[in-house]
Amino acid sequence: MFRRTAVVLRHLLFPSPVQRTQLLANRMSTDPVAAVCQVTATPDKGENLSVCKKLVEEAKQKGASMVFLPEGFDYIGSNREETLSLAESLEGETVSSLAQIARKLEIWLSLGGFHEQGPNWKTDRRIYNSHIIINNKGDIVSVYRKAHLFDVELPEKGVSLKESAFTIPGPNLCAPIETPIGKVGLGICYDLRFPELSLALQRQGAEILTYPSAFTVATGAAHWEVLLRARAIETQCFVLAAAQVGPHHDKRSSYGHALAVDPWGVVLGDCGGERPGLIMVDINLEKLRNTRRNMPVQEHRRNTDFYHSLEKT
């Protein structure tokens, strides 16, 4: 009897490789799942909306609790005039249609970069680049307006964009929002290059950072993955980055490679650089807690005055 009990205990305490694999699979099956999407938006809003709806439906069928769409999911215009002519309010058809889908499928949505008519639209014709979170009841629960605008001239790489010509910078950050996959902190594209933003969100409890983007081919090839992994490592957060891919019109193309990164900086999924699609990601918050416990970076951080001390000398 004692020997039989000892054998059972041994199997429980020291499982075989096969048992360890099964235990891991059982544990992972309980993790919430996110879908990170990649699209090729054009100026055709109707077609773009149809593609996004199909991706959301596919994600739901595959078990996602939350779906992440990229910056410019609604459209990418070919010039300033077209971009402004297609803009809507939060109460417009695009957001309303996706809210209806969220409610019907009982799924959360991250609408990563919406061309929102600004507060003085009738007089100044300027917009916000807005990241909208919709819950599974179809309610808008958070709106973050992009703070850092992409005004960049790289003639040797064929990059020339001035977002501030028609976009208003957002006035503030948004507190991380509680979702079925964890607490999500919101950014958009160029925000990725400013670690102050990600650290501020982490200090407010973010477990997942998201950077929906439309990176240019040149800047994406040079910086996209390394920046996403850096933000994950320094904050010890999951990072989810939906992306635009391929040619939007004859003047602009995007890099693609929608990416998911874990709190250790490991790439969990990559959509590639060729076509629309999605990746499914298990969000294992126990991995996040273990990473932060084993390497307590935030506990080792000095107070704010310390990091500003050089400015006072």
| Catalytic residue (choose from 37, 52, 60, 71) | 71
Nearest to 234 by CA among 292, 174, 182, 304: 292
- For the chain, strand residue ranges (E) read 33-39, 66-71, 108-117, 127-134, 140-145, 151-154, 159-162, 177-179, 182-186, 208-210, 238-241, 243-249, 252-255, 259-261, 267-270, 277-282
Query: What is the chain's Cα-based Rg?
Result: 21
Say which amino acid occupies 28. M
Instruction: Check if 146 is active-site.
Output: yes
Angle between helix axes 45-61 and 93-105 (nearest 10 degrees) is: 10
Q: Which amino acid is at 163?
A: E
Contact 171, 149 (CB under 8 A): no
E strands within 170-306? 177-179, 182-186, 208-210, 238-241, 243-249, 252-255, 259-261, 267-270, 277-282
> Active site residue: 52, 88, 146, 271, which one?
146
Q: Please tell me what DSSP assigns to residue 193.
A: G
CB atoms within 10 A of CB 310: 7
Provide the pairing of β-strand 243-249 with 238-241. unpaired
Looking at residue 155, what DSSP letter applies? G
Strands 238-241 and 208-210: parallel
Active site residue 71: yes
Neighbours of 89 (CB within 10 A): 13
> Between 217-235 and 195-203, two packed helices, what is the crossing angle to 10 degrees?
30
Which residue in 37, 174, 189, 237 is the catalytic one? 189
List active site positions.
71, 146, 189
